[in-house]
Structure 1
Amino acid sequence: MAKIPEEVLDRLRNAVDIADVIGQDVQLKKQGKNLMGHCPFHQDDTPSFSVNQEKQFFYCFSCHRSGNVFSFLMQLHDMSFPQAVEAVAEFADLELPSQYTAAAPSNPNSQGGQLGRLHEQAAKLYHHILVNTPAGQPALKYLLDRGMTRELIDQFNLGFAPEPTNGQPVLYQYAQQQELDYQFLRKSGLFVERADGQLQDRFHGRVMYPIKNANGQVIAFSGRILAKKAPANTPKYLNSPETPLFNKRQTLFNLDLAKQAARKAGHLTLFEGFMDVIAAYGAGIKTGIASMGTSFTSEQVQAIARLTSQLTIAYDGDEPGQAAIDRSLKLVEDTAPDLTLRVVQLPAGLDPDEYVQKYGSLKFQEYMTHGEETAVDFRLAYLRKDLNLQKQSELINYLNAALEVIATVPTPVGQSVYLKKLAGEFGLDLGSLERQLASIPAPRAVPAAPMGTVPPPEEEAGSVPPPAEDPDWTVPAANQPTTLSRGERAAQILLKYYCYDAEVRYRLDALADFQFPQPAYQQLYTVIKHYLADHSDFVPAAVMDHLTPGAQSLLSQVETQIIAEEEKAQVVTDCLRVLTTELPLTAQIEQTQAALNEASMLGDSDQILHLTTQLVQLYQRQQAMKTEEIN
């Protein structure tokens, strides 16, 4: 594949708004000059992920990930650079010349690449068996009888895993034709090992639901048993085991499609099962997602909170469904307190596909809209379950519990509405309820920003330690200290001036022997200098195409520095003094002190005397420099 020219990259980068691309994966809200959201790269209780629309780059003030629109896709979705460029072109609805397209993953022969390709091929094979072969006809009839259309079956790439043909497992037979390694197949999650060491298909006699990641790539399967009389202890649904591709705690069914709809609808809808999601999608509710089996996890909640500000939980209204709603509400409130919650209790005993078949898509949409209630409304009703409110003791217990729920309502107006309902329903004194509510401790606060989180507005300077020189720089751990040293601050301010002020560039370039004493800053300075030699304006998003991840993070830190035209010459002079005189002097003092310590250990009296004299002179120079600065 040919190297992509810079003008092509610039055209694509300018054709999209980075906020629109990132907004597919992260919910962004305006805050000051930038957009803020929860970082998708680490557990982020307080939004620390910033997107600068004007300069088209992102930066996390906590974990320090940074980059432009291409590097965001590369880092979050594990794309190669050509794949990310192609994805941006598709988003912008622009045609990318074929010589610049990525026909395959950056490392197709890696285990991850092979595993992903095997899952994609398996999904195609299962789908082909379902819709094109006699073996798939019973499964196809089952789906059609449940209200699935051919369009929905194709949309979700549903399939069928048949029983072995002549004793030969279908998928394993196919994999052998591809000459794939036995150990790789054994660990892929698609096969199980028999007592004799032979492999057989994990899934057989099951309707197959491909599980995709947020990027739409098949990473696992869930298979529903088709036979009405299955052997004892046969699970109704069988999911893939965890693999390098699939972590069930982090995966949500249909998130790849639902996140697009959520941007318009403003919410996601959590259903109980895959069929619920598919039926709702066919009825026009395209925001549906489902967890893997019965488990709804904090990791899934965090993924939802990054994409939307509201979650609607749509479970069955029977007793087990209500209990599941209650558990899910508690989990969300503990994990993502800022997420607005709504509840829809589906008619007991009537799945979404059955509801749609019985009443039609329009009625289902109306039910999903008009049947919605707040989490507080649900809880107040759920608390009454199995209670006899004619008994004074049970009524008092209910009222005490109800007031605890009402105390979680964030606004006084909202609390007042619920108190008036209670007072009216049970003939109670409103003032008494208000006084008891006031005595209830406030609910726990939203977790504070993690240690080391830097405030997002541009008026405050962010800071991180310089990245490693290694091109394979590892992103620093979240929440590490971000205090700038004097030398780092001087380097960042000087670089900021250099990027945007021609006078400072001329002055710095005229210093033939100038170098930043910190290697990371010198490397960044070199790239910026070369870029500006060919471009009249500095465009940080374009420069980031030429930087390692560590240097991208450092450039984002430089961008947070606030520089002013007033006293510019003096500020630049001060920065140069710190970098060319103070830092080298400090380094010389440290080296001399280390040599003195070594001489003391060796008992070399002559060297001790020499180094002590030298160290005193160095300290005198340092003190004189500080005195000069004060004056």
Structure 2
Amino acid sequence: MYYSEEIIEEIRSQNDLVDVVSEYVRLQRKGSSYFGLCPFHNEDTPSFSVSPDKQMYYCFGCQAGGNVFTFIMQMENFSFVEAIKHLADRAHITLPQPEYSEEVRKKMEEKQILLDMHKEAAKYFYANLRSLRGQQASEYLNKRKLSKNTQKLFGIGYSNMDFGDLYQYLLYKGYEEEHISKSGLVIPKKKGKGYVDRFRNRIMFPIFDVHNQVIGFGGRVLDDSLPKYMNSPDTPLFDKSKNLYGLNYARTSGKNQILIVEGYMDVISLYQAGFENVVASLGTAFTYQQASLLKRYTGEVVIIYDSDTAGTNAALRAIPILSSAGLKIKVVQVPGEKDPDDFIKQNGPEAFQQLLDHAMGAVTFQVSVLRKKYNIEDTEQKIKFTMEVAQLLSRLDNEIERDVYLQEISNDTKISTQSILNEIKKTQEFQRKNSIKLSSYSQRQESELHDHLKVNNVFNNIDEKNGLYKAQKNILNFLYNNPLHYHKIKPHLSYEDFIDPVLMKVAKLIYEQYDKGLKIEPAVVINHFENLNDQKQVSMIFRDEKSKNQEYDIEKAINDQIKLIKKANIDMKSRNATDIYEIQSLIEQKKQLEKLYINLISG
């Protein structure tokens, strides 16, 4: 642990989870909790809840959960220590000099080595572009009318055709093969030992994080080979779903909106033309993490994807994701199915600014796409068009905005506004009947919902079907929800009886708190775990609801589970025992275990 428990708890308590989550997710209060669309998986119906009392969050869909540190680690791809520093800064808390554990020190040192390596690689590619070997790449950039200053600002470079050029250079610079292999800059040879460069004969675009550190690369071919563009793979530094190209500049542009385009060249071309508030996703569909990242720096975005079918469909997919982050959305479709780079070169910055000034609202864009899909002169297609528009308008919260669109659609189709409104109400009623009514949650309903939506388990290392693991987790959950029974269970089940190391540590913390007569605070317990998966695992203990069985059934279940844990512990010790007296003692313990029964109802 880098910092003392007192410092960590002070930072957690000074960062209210609802406030922190609200910076990323649009939340709505429902009863005693807050709900919103989960930022960690795609969904249409809110299943992400935040409990102000417990200072914990939980998603009924993907089962992500934890405290404020866990949330920041997930959202920002931070380590535990990085999350502590981030939240300390947010709360204006000055941290003491940290105490480094060996494991965490090693991870931080490795991350710094990879950052240094990427910086070195960027300098190498940049130098290549200005050498004789980079002449063809340089001519290409000149043809695309990118000035030398722009090339320098974005660090554009060139990767040579040689298979091991960068690899050998990094070895020469003193980097160890172990770290080079983790960088994503090389790939293993198909035959024999060693590595070859991932990027060859490509124009190289360094990818910067918001702190202007090189965390990856994108490479564009100079010929017709495929793939045309190639990005770094996911590494300890780089996750393409959580980063945006150009955000390091866009966030400091001083503009009240951020433009979203498709590719590197669009970003660079627009920036050169004076539009510094521009970013691009990194070769993937737009993600909730990217939307949340944008929300940190702006309240409005303008989607400017290519106007072809692929670009239009990509914009349609991005709109609900951006909306879920609470962003106002506009859409520009560049005339003639051109991309922004081509348009601005042919027509200039002033013409592009006019496109921005006349950007469509998101709903107007969606309706315009539907208009192209249907021929409203045909009766059947007119009906289909109107019903799809009704579904679209049914999701609008603003009645004034909805009424404006209603009138427009009515004028276009000659269908009365009342008929369209009736269809909207039918759609809303259908959605209500087939969605989860978050406003009327009780603990019992939350538990039923958890069972209904229990999919995509986030814990790769935990087999939820494993009876022993579930028994340990259930006992801890029971102790948390039933503190009065602790003194009945403790004499028969010590925290050392728990097999799973994470659950054993949780048990120790719970036992220590109860022995002091203190209440269990789940968010404080999570503070004791640095690993993200461990934090998620611990959060599940405090998330699961009480058993719906009758009191007698609970008592029997608890006894059965304690016996299962004790038996597994004895069996494990037996496998390692060598002393005859120890073996005899374990045999006797196993016999006594058969007689064990804890009466939880009386006394």
For the superposition of Structure 1 and Structure 2, which TM-score range results when normalised by the shorter chain?
A: 0.5 to 0.7
Q: Work out whether 1:421 is the aligned partner of 2:392.
A: no
The 1:577/1:205 distance shift into structure 2, 3 A limit, reads closer
Q: Deviations over 1:468-515 (max 9, x none)?
A: xxxx9756689x99xxx99988974653464xxxxx5xx955997364
2:408 alignment partner AA: K
Which residue of the partner structure matches residue 159 of structure 1?
Answer: 156
Contact 1:39 1:48 in 2 (8 A): yes
Stretches of structure 2 that go unaligned for 5 or more consecutive residues are 452-457, 567-594
What does residue range 410-559 of structure 1 map to in structure 2 within 5 Å? 410-411=393-394, 417-418=404-405, 420-421=407-408, 424=411, 428=414, 430=416, 462=447, 474=460, 492=477, 495-496=480-481, 498=483, 513=491, 515=493, 519=498, 524-531=506-513, 539-546=521-528, 553=537, 558=542
**SS in structure 2 at match of 1:406:** helix
Matched, 1:351 2:348: no
Contact preservation (8 Å) 1:248, 1:292:
no
Q: Which residue of 2 aligns with 1:290?
A: 280
Q: Are the structure 2 counterparts of residues 131 and 69 from structure 1 closer, same or farther at C-alpha, using a change threshold of 3 Å?
A: farther
Contact map agreement 2:111 2:236 (CA 8 A) in 1 = yes
Q: Distance in 1 between matches of 2:67 and 2:146?
A: 45
CA distance in 1, matches of 2:558, 2:236: 47
Using the alignment, how far apart are the partners of 1:487 and 1:189 within structure 2?
A: 40
| TM-score, reference length from structure 2 | 0.63
Which secondary structure does the structure 1 equivalent of 2:331 belong to? strand
Distance 2:475 2:152 in 1: 61
1:407-431 CA deviation, whole Å, 9 max, x = no partner? 33334966764564355468x4648
Within 5 A, what are the aligned runs for 1:102-251?
107-108=106-107, 118-126=117-125, 142=142, 146=146, 154=153, 157-161=154-158, 163=160, 171-178=166-173, 190-191=185-186, 199=196, 202-204=199-201, 206=203, 208-211=204-207, 218-224=214-220, 232-233=223-224, 237-240=228-231, 242=233, 250=241
Match of 2:70 in 1: 71
Shift in Å at residue 235 of structure 1? 6.8
How many residues end up aligned between the 2 structures? 544
Match of 1:569 in 2: none
CA distance in 2, matches of 1:241, 1:492: 42
Q: CA deviation at 1:57?
A: 2.8
Which residue in the other structure is 2:361 paired with?
373
CA distance in 1, matches of 2:393, 2:352: 31
SS of structure 1 residue aligned to 2:217: strand
Q: Which residue of 2 aligns with 1:323?
A: 309
Residue 260 of structure 2 corresponds to residue 276 of structure 1: no
Q: 1: distance between equivalents of 2:103 and 2:534?
A: 27
Residues 196-227 of structure 1: CA distance to partner in whole angstroms, max 9, x if unpaired?
A: 99845724462x322367998755322346xx
Q: Is the 8 A contact 2:474 2:541 kept in 1?
A: no
* Structure 2 residue aligned with 1:56: 55
Which has the higher mean CA deviation after the structures are superposed, 410-419 or 88-97? 410-419
Structure 1: state its 5+ residue gaps.
466-471, 499-503, 563-573, 592-617
- Deviation, 1:330, is 4.9
Counterpart in 2 of 1:85? Answer: 84
| Structure 1 residues 148 and 328: alpha-carbon distance in aligned structure 2, compared to 1, 3 A threshold | farther
> Which residue identity lines up with residue 345 of structure 1 in the other structure?
Q
Q: Distance in 2 between matches of 1:544 and 1:205?
A: 46
Q: Hey, what's the Cα distance between the residues in 2 that align with 1:269 and 1:257?
A: 13
Aligned residue for 2:393, secondary structure, equals coil
**CA displacement 1:230-283 (0-9 Å, x = unmatched):** 5x5257953136465699984653386599799x97x97531222434566788
Q: Does the 8 A contact of 2:125 with 2:158 survive in 1?
A: yes
After TM superposition, give the deviation of residue 9 of structure 1 in Å.
1.6
| SS in structure 2 at match of 1:546 | coil
Whether the 8 Å CA contact 1:214–1:256 is kept in 2: the answer is yes
Specify the code of the residue in structure 2 equivalent to 1:530. E
- Corresponding letter in the other structure for 2:525: V
Give the root-mean-square deviation of aligned CA atoms: 6.4
Residues 519-554 of structure 1, C-alpha deviations (whole Å, 9 max, x = no match): 488864531342466796754322222258668655
Kept in 2: contact 1:344–1:373 (CA 8 A): no
Letter in 2 for 1:57: M
| Equivalent position of 2:386 in the other structure | 403
Q: Which whole-Å deviations, capped at 9, do the CAs of 1:537-578 have from their partners, x for residues lacking one?
A: 75432222225866865566547879xxxxxxxxxxx98995
Larger radius of gyration: 1
1:22: how far off? 4.4
Q: What secondary structure does 1:421 align onto? A: helix
C-alpha distance 433-560 of structure 1, shift in aligned 2 (>3 A): closer
Q: Is the 8 A contact 1:380 1:405 kept in 2?
A: no
Identify if the C-alpha distance between structure 1 residues 514 and 586 changes in structure 2 by more than 3 Å, giving closer, same or farther. Answer: closer
Q: Give the AA of the match of 2:304.
A: Y
Closer/same/farther in 2, CA of residues 85 and 357 from structure 1, 3 Å limit = farther
- CA, structure 1 residues 432+62, in 2 after alignment: closer, same or farther (shift >3 Å)? closer
Structure 1 position 5, deviation (Å)? 1.7
Q: Which amino acid aligns with 2:218?
A: S
Aligned residue type for 2:310: A
Cα deviation for residue 585 of structure 1 reads 7.3
Structure 1 residue 31: Cα displacement:
3.6
Partner of 1:321, secondary structure, is coil
In 2 relative to 1, CA 255–46 (structure 1 residues): closer, same or farther, beyond 3 Å? farther
CA distance in 2, matches of 1:436, 1:244: 52
CA contact (8 A) 1:274 1:290 kept: yes
> Which moved further from structure 2: 4-13 or 71-80?
71-80
> 1:490 & 1:195 partners in 2: Cα distance?
52
Tell me how far apart the structure 1 counterparts of residues 346 and 100 of structure 2 sit (CA, whole Å): 44
1:224 and 1:416 map into 2 onto residues whose CA distance is: 47
Indicate the larger mover: 75-84 or 3-12: 75-84
Instruction: Give distance in 1, aligned partners of 2:5 and 2:405.
Output: 60
Judging changes above 3 Å, is the alpha-carbon distance between structure 1 residues 247 and 271 closer, same or farther for their aligned structure 2 residues? same
- Could you tell me the percent identity over the aligned residues? 19
TM-score, length basis structure 1: 0.61
